[in-house]
Structure 1
Amino acid sequence: MKVYLATFGCAANQSSSEIMASSILEKGYSLSNEADAEVVVCNTCTVKYTTEQKILHKIKQWGFEGKEVVVTGCMPEVQLEDILESNPDVHIMGINSIADVCSVLERIESGEKGLRVSTSAPEGFLNIPRKRFHSSIHICQISQGCDNSCSYCIVTLARGPLKSFEPEAIVEDIRQAIAEGCREIWLTSQDAAQYGNDIGTNIGDLLKQISAIEGDFRVRVGMMNPFSAYPILDEMIEGFSNPKIYKLLHLPIQSASDKVLQRMNRHHTIEEANVIIRRFRDAFPESTIFTDIIVGFPGEFDEDAALTEEWVKQIRPDKVNISRYTPRPHTKAWDFRNIDSRIVVERSGRLHELCDSIKLESKEKMVGWKGEVFVSKKAKVKGFMARTDAYLPVVIPQEEGVSEGQRIMVEITEATPGYFIGRPL
Structure 2
Amino acid sequence: MKVAFSTLGCRVNVYESEAMVEKFVRDGYSVVDFSEKADVYVINTCSVTNTGDKKSRQIIGRARRQNSNAIIAVVGCYSQIAPKEVSEIKGVDVVLGTRNKGDIVYYVNKARDEKKIQIEVGAVLKNKKFENLQIEDYRDKTRAFLKIQDGCNRFCAYCLIPYTRGAVCSKDFDVVLNEVKQLANKGFKEIILSGIHTASYGVDLEGNISLVTLLEEIEKIDGIERVRIGSIEPSFFTDEVVEKCKNMKKLCPQFHLSLQSGCNDTLKRMNRRYTAEEYEKIVNVLRENLEDVSITTDVIVGFPGETDEEFNETYEFLKRIKLTKTHIFKFSPRTGTKAADMENQIDGNKKEERSKKLIELNKFNENNFTESLIGRELGVLIEHEVKGEEGVYEGYTKNYVKVHVHGIKPQNIGKIIKIKILASKGDYAEGKVVE
Shift of the alpha carbon at 1:267? 1.3
Please, which of 155, 179, 195 is the counterpart of residue 161 of structure 2? 155
Q: 1:21 to 1:380 in 2, by over 3 A?
A: farther
2:426 is matched with which residue? 417
Give the whole-Å Cα distance in 1 for the aligned partners of 2:62 and 2:420: 49
Measured on the aligned residues, the alpha-carbon RMSD in Å equals: 2.0
2:111 is matched with which residue? 108
Give the whole-Å Cα distance in 2 for the aligned partners of 1:342 and 1:60: 30
1:223 is matched with which residue? 231
Give the whole-Å Cα distance in 2 for the aligned partners of 1:274 and 1:192: 21
2:40 is matched with which residue? 39
Shift of the alpha carbon at 1:244? 1.2
Shift of the alpha carbon at 1:372? 2.8
Give the whole-Å Cα distance in 1 for the aligned partners of 2:413 and 2:32: 28
The alignment partner of 2:422 has SS state of strand
Please, which of 74, 78, 86 is the counterpart of residue 71 of structure 1? 74
Shift of the alpha carbon at 1:406? 3.1
After superposition, what is the alpha-carbon deviation per residue over 1:398-423, rounded to whole angstroms, capped at 9, x for unaligned? 23386144333221122223211110
Shift of the alpha carbon at 1:295? 0.3
Q: 1:298 to 1:240 in 2, by over 3 A?
A: farther
Q: 1:406 to 1:57 in 2, by over 3 A?
A: closer
Shift of the alpha carbon at 1:262? 0.7
Give the whole-Å Cα distance in 2 for the aligned partners of 1:10 and 1:233: 29
Given residue 48 of structure 1, which amino acid in structure 2 is its aligned partner? Answer: T
After superposition, what is the alpha-carbon deviation per residue over 1:92-128, rounded to whole angstroms, capped at 9, x for unaligned? 12211222122123213323311023464332324x5
2:267 corresponds to 1:258: no
After superposition, what is the alpha-carbon deviation per residue over 1:122-169, rounded to whole angstroms, capped at 9, x for unaligned? 32324x52443x122211011010111001011121000100112211
2:311 corresponds to 1:305: yes
Gaps of 5+ in 1: none
The alignment partner of 1:366 has SS state of coil
Given residue 82 of structure 2, which amino acid in structure 1 is its aligned partner? Answer: Q
1:177 is matched with which residue? 183
Q: 1:155 to 1:397 in 2, by over 3 A?
A: farther
Gaps of 5+ in 2: none
1:238 is matched with which residue? 244
2:151 is matched with which residue? 145
Q: Is the 8 A contact 1:374 1:405 kept in 2?
A: no
The alignment partner of 1:110 has SS state of helix
1:28 is matched with which residue? 28
1:388 is matched with which residue? 397
2:57 is matched with which residue? 56
Please, which of 352, 356, 363 is the counterpart of residue 370 of structure 2? 363
Give the whole-Å Cα distance in 2 for the aligned partners of 1:71 and 1:286: 42
Given residue 19 of structure 1, which amino acid in structure 2 is its aligned partner? Answer: A
Q: Is the 8 A contact 1:204 1:237 kept in 2?
A: no
1:408 is matched with which residue? 417
Identical residues among aligned pairs (%): 28
Of residues 116-125 and 212-221 in structure 1, the stretch that sits farther from structure 2 once superposed is 116-125
Give the whole-Å Cα distance in 2 for the aligned partners of 1:235 and 1:124: 27
TM-score w.r.t. length of structure 1: 0.93
After superposition, what is the alpha-carbon deviation per residue over 1:67-96, rounded to whole angstroms, capped at 9, x for unaligned? 321011111111223323433643112211
Shift of the alpha carbon at 1:237? 4.9
User: Where do 1:259-274 residues align within 5 Å?
Assistant: 259-274=265-280
Of residues 61-70 and 32-41 in structure 1, the stretch that sits farther from structure 2 once superposed is 61-70
2:98 corresponds to 1:95: yes
Shift of the alpha carbon at 1:265? 0.5
Shift of the alpha carbon at 1:313? 1.2
TM-score w.r.t. length of structure 2: 0.91
Please, which of 180, 204, 217 is the counterpart of residue 209 of structure 1? 217
Q: Is the 8 A contact 2:379 2:417 kept in 1?
A: yes
Please, which of 81, 84, 87 is the counterpart of residue 81 of structure 1? 84
Q: Is the 8 A contact 2:152 2:165 kept in 1?
A: yes
Shift of the alpha carbon at 1:238? 1.4
Q: Is the 8 A contact 1:409 1:424 kept in 2?
A: yes
Give the whole-Å Cα distance in 2 for the aligned partners of 1:171 and 1:336: 44
Q: 1:184 to 1:309 in 2, by over 3 A?
A: same
Q: 1:33 to 1:272 in 2, by over 3 A?
A: same
Q: Is the 8 A contact 1:89 1:113 kept in 2?
A: no
Q: 1:46 to 1:236 in 2, by over 3 A?
A: farther
Q: Is the 8 A contact 1:237 1:280 kept in 2?
A: no
Give the whole-Å Cα distance in 2 for the aligned partners of 1:416 and 1:386: 14
Q: 1:122 to 1:71 in 2, by over 3 A?
A: farther
Q: 1:31 to 1:389 in 2, by over 3 A?
A: closer
Give the whole-Å Cα distance in 1 for the aligned partners of 2:156 and 2:264: 14
Of residues 386-395 and 310-319 in structure 1, the stretch that sits farther from structure 2 once superposed is 386-395
